[in-house]
Amino acid sequence: MKLRFSIREPMVEGDTLEAKCESVARLGLEAIELAESSQPARLDEIRSALDATGLAVSMLCPTHGMALPDARRQVRDAAIATTKEQLTQAAELGAGGVIFHPTIGLQLGNGQRIPDLSPLHTAEDLEHRLLHEILRAEIAPHAEQCGARLVIESVNRYEQWWTRTVGEAAEICIAVGSPHIVTMADLFHMHIEETDIAQAIRDHGSHIVYVHLADSNRELPGARSMDYRAVLQALSDIDYQGYCTFALAPSDQVSPDAVRESMDLLNELAASVAS
């Protein structure tokens, strides 16, 4: 199995985006996942940095403005507009798509949750139905038109109450019914929420287009107890072709040597996995 590596923007050294891209290129990685730089207003700066270093953009991971199931109409409308802008930017950059966390903006940010209208409808049911309809009516058609994908990321219960598992994210993909609404596997969050990480990857592999790499302590792979051979075997089983992106805590910066050691470990394990 041949691995294609990427890394999140905040993890590498550099005072500018071009300097960060240079750091990524020196590591021998193919791509960078953009976080704070993933803004349409910075499109020219991003293109310049990519042209100078030969990197690709594996994915955009916006840090603001995507609270689609917020209770307030004006917030939802602004989130829809922002999400469409991000998808357009991803398409223009040739990125894999835009990472989306359905309720993290409500649980951790200043979002406003849908009221609980039990016994008619629970807050959870209304959030699900609202998100499905927004994705189906607004986001999926735009994603299809511009040729980008919205990538639903499930995160653990301490950051987001829904979606937590890859299966829950896959349910959204199925409900919306668009090949441009997909999901991903974040191994740190899966370590907390999944009963069997490898089996979850196999069960929902048809919807998985991206992988975040981190060990069980949210440090680089190899730091703790994650069974990466089992994970890589599962990825091989689903014929995964996308990027494997180093993604630690949002503000963590790591040493180049540590990244290289982790890459060597993963490449060695990947070489032993049957395809």
CA distances from 169 to 71, 74, 133, 182 (A): 21, 25, 15, 8
Q: Is the pLDDT of residue 275 over 70?
A: no
Q: Is the preceding omega at residue 179 within 30 degrees of 0, hence cis? A: no
In 3D space, the residue among 178, 94, 101, 98 whose CA is nearest the CA of residue 138 turns out to be 178
Q: Pick the residue with more confidence: 105 or 236?
A: 236
User: Element (H or E) spanning 198, and its range?
Assistant: helix 197-203
Q: Is the preceding omega at residue 163 within 30 degrees of 0, hence cis? A: yes
pLDDT band at 99 (very low <50, low <70, confident <90, very high): very high
| Interacting residues of 194 by C-beta distance below 8 A, sequence separation 6+ | 165, 166, 200
Structural domain of 106: 5-271
The domain total for the chain is 1
* Chain mean position to CA 70: 20
Task: Read off the CATH number of the domain in which 153 is found.
Answer: 3.20.20.150
CA 183, 95, 75, 107 torsion-angle sign:
positive
Count the alpha carbons within 13 Å of 75 in the hemisphere toward its beta carbon: 17
Q: What are the structure tokens assigned to 83, written together? A: 């999400």
Q: How far apart are CA 101 and CA 272, in angstroms?
A: 34
Q: How far apart are CA 96 and CA 81, in angstroms?
A: 20
What tens digit of pLDDT does each residue of 186-235 get?
Answer: 999 999 999 999 999 999 999 999 999 999 999 999 878 899 999 999 99
Predicted confidence at residue 40, as pLDDT, reads 87
Q: What are the structure tokens assigned to 139, written together? A: 């986001």
